[in-house]
């Protein structure tokens, strides 16, 4: 399985705790979720899902219909399919789901008896055998369901995982993923020890398969921002905080080999804000940060590379990045940037020289202002 994913949070929408969106792609599909509309008002902020096929920089609006998504969207994807959850908002306290097997052309409703957590990877979806899905809920627990998505049952709680890895000091369930075998992966935040804790369920019991950060991040508290499985590679993006200093670290693991970690990307707490994260089909990562001056800054990193690379100055209003799959290669050299101005979407592709952004698409989205309140 290969894919990429992107997370975006912007402006007031982020302040309104609608920060968690997720998108997943496989070798055959690319997805990105963006907040659009009047971002200063939660009821007029609509989260839109866009889809592209490999090799194309044309993004098509495929937001699942039938429910207001002012609270945000969360997505889990698998080969040729996607499962999208609508975050609770206003008076809706549970999360309707929608599944698609045709790149978002059509959607089928599915039921989740709880509200999803506002986390980028709160949903994991597997379409192969045995299939099924995992959902992290707003009350901090994980639920799982078999292939038909008809009967959800409790999977695990933070307290249960805390007993498995006492050194971590589990804070919360941060992200979920599914191995090609259908086995669940759950990443948690750790209060101490520089632990990056990822758990998997093996023969009925939870096993920690995480890593420990060293160097300047030894003993740091950690939060897993992203957890994605592409083929045999598991990719994680971790925020670590120690003595008031924060850093982002990318980690990769292939099969059962040990994790490899990037060099820390210093993002001093409170000075830089992570507004978008993306994972490519090949496991590359891109992050979009807001600098202390308010300007957006983007960096990316490919698996096995130690140091983060800055990307060229971004177009004004950039709110997300995407590392779409290409038919030729699954590395991180193809990057799209998305600008949002109200209902207007702009897509910019990084030029082949990697020095400038070229506008490749402009779309006007039919936002239904005033329809949610």
Partner 1 sequence: MPGMGRSLQTGNSLIVSAFHTELLHQLLFILLVGALCAIGFNVVRTVQYRRLKQHGQNSFPTSPRFSTPEPTARRVLRIGFGCLWILDGLLQLQSAMPLGLPSGVIQPAAATSPGWVQHLVNSGLSIWTDHPIQAASATVWIQVGLGLWLLVAPRGRWSRLSGLASVGWGLVVWSFGEAFGGIFAPGATWLFGAPGAVLFYCVAGVLIALPERAFATPRLGRIVLAAGGVFLIGMALLQAWPGRGYWQGGRSGTLTGMVRTMAQTSQPHFLSSWIASFGSFDAAHGWAVNLFSVVALVVIGVLLLTGRQRLVLGGLLALVALCLADWVLVEDLGFFGGVGTDPNSMLPMALVFVAGYVAMVRLPVETEVPIAEGADATGPANWWERASLSYVTRTVAAVGALAIVLVGTAPMAMAAVNQNADPILTEALDGSPYSLDLPAPHFALTDQHGNPVSLANLRGHTVALTFLDPVCTSDCPLIAQEFRQTDQRLGDRASDVDFVAIVANPIYRSASFTNAFDRQESLENLPNWYYLTGSLPELERVWDSYGIEVSTVAAGAMIAHSDLAFVIDSHGRERDALIDDPGPTQTFASSFSSLLLSRIDQTLDS
Number of neighbouring beta carbons within 10 Å of residue 351: 11
Total interface residues for partner 1 by CB under 8 A = 34
x-or-dash string of contact with partner 1, 61-80, rule CB under 8 A: x-x-xxxxxxx-x-------
CA distance 180 to 234: 11
**Residue among 40, 55, 90, 207 that touches partner 1 (CB under 8 A):** 90
How far is C-alpha 86 from the chain's CA centre? 14
Tell me the three state secondary structure of residue 337.
strand
Q: From the CB of 93, what's the least distance to partner 1, in Å?
A: 5
12 touches partner 1 by CB under 8 A: no
Q: Which is nearer to partner 1, 117 or 187 (CB)?
A: 117
Residues 108, 60: contact at Cβ < 8 Å?
no
x-or-dash string of contact with partner 1, 102-121, rule CB under 8 A: -----x-x-x-x--------
Q: Which is nearer to partner 1, 84 or 332 (CB)?
A: 84
163 touches partner 1 by CB under 8 A: no
341 touches partner 1 by CB under 8 A: no
47 touches partner 1 by CB under 8 A: yes
367 touches partner 1 by CB under 8 A: yes
Query: What are φ and ψ of residue 14, in 5° steps?
Result: -65, -40
Segment near partner 1 (CB under 8 A); pick from 13-21, 60-68, 205-213, 272-280: 60-68
Question: In the numeric block, which tokens belong to residue 353?
Answer: 């020289």
CA 307, 333, 273: angle at the middle one, nearest 5? Answer: 55
CA distance 152 to 356: 47
Query: What are φ and ψ of residue 264, in 5° steps?
Result: -65, 140
172 touches partner 1 by CB under 8 A: no
372 touches partner 1 by CB under 8 A: yes
Residues 167, 213: contact at Cβ < 8 Å?
no
Residues in a beta bridge with 282: 3
259 touches partner 1 by CB under 8 A: no
Q: From the CB of 86, what's the least distance to partner 1, in Å?
A: 8
CA 7, 286, 172: angle at the middle one, nearest 5? Answer: 50
Which residues here bind partner 1, judged by CB under 8 A?
Answer: 36, 46-48, 61, 63, 65-71, 73, 86, 89-94, 96, 107, 109, 111, 113, 365-368, 370-373
């Amino acid at each position: 399985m290969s894919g990429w994913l992107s997370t975006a949070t912007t402006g007031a929408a982020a302040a309104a705790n609608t920060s968690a969106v997720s998108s997943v792609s496989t070798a055959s599909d690319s997805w990105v979720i963006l907040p659009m509309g009047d971002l200063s008002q939660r009821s007029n902020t609509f989260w839109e899902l866009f889809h592209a096929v490999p090799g194309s920089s044309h993004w098509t609006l495929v937001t699942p219909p039938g429910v207001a998504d002012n609270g945000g969207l969360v997505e889990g994807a698998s080969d040729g399919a996607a499962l999208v959850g609508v975050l609770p908002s206003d008076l809706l306290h549970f999360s309707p789901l929608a599944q698609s097997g045709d790149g978002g052309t059509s959607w089928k409703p599915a039921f989740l008896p709880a509200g999803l957590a506002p986390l980028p990877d709160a949903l994991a979806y597997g379409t192969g055998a045995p299939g099924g899905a995992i959902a992290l809920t707003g009350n901090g627990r994980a639920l799982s369901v078999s292939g038909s998505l008809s009967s959800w049952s409790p999977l695990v709680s933070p307290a249960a995982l805390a007993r498995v890895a006492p050194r971590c000091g589990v804070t919360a369930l941060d992200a979920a993923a599914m191995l090609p075998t259908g086995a669940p992966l759950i990443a948690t935040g750790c209060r101490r020890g520089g632990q990056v804790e990822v758990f998997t369920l093996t023969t009925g019991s939870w096993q920690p398969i995480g890593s420990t950060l060293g160097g300047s991040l030894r003993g740091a508290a950690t939060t897993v921002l992203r957890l994605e499985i592409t083929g045999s590679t598991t990719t994680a993006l971790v925020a670590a905080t120690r003595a008031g200093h924060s850093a982002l670290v990318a980690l990769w693991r292939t099969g059962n080999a040990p994790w490899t970690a990037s060099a820390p990307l210093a993002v001093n707490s409170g000075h830089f804000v992570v507004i978008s994260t993306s994972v490519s089909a090949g496991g590359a990562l891109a992050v979009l940060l807001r600098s202390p001056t308010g300007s957006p800054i983007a960096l990316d990193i490919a698996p096995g590379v130690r140091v983060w690379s800055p990307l060229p100055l971004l177009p004004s209003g950039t709110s997300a990045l995407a590392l779409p799959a290409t038919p030729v290669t699954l590395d991180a050299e193809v990057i799209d940037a998305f600008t949002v101005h109200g209902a207007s979407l702009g897509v910019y592709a990084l030029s082949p020289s990697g020095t400038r952004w070229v506008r490749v698409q402009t779309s006007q989205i039919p936002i239904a202002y005033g329809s949610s309140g």
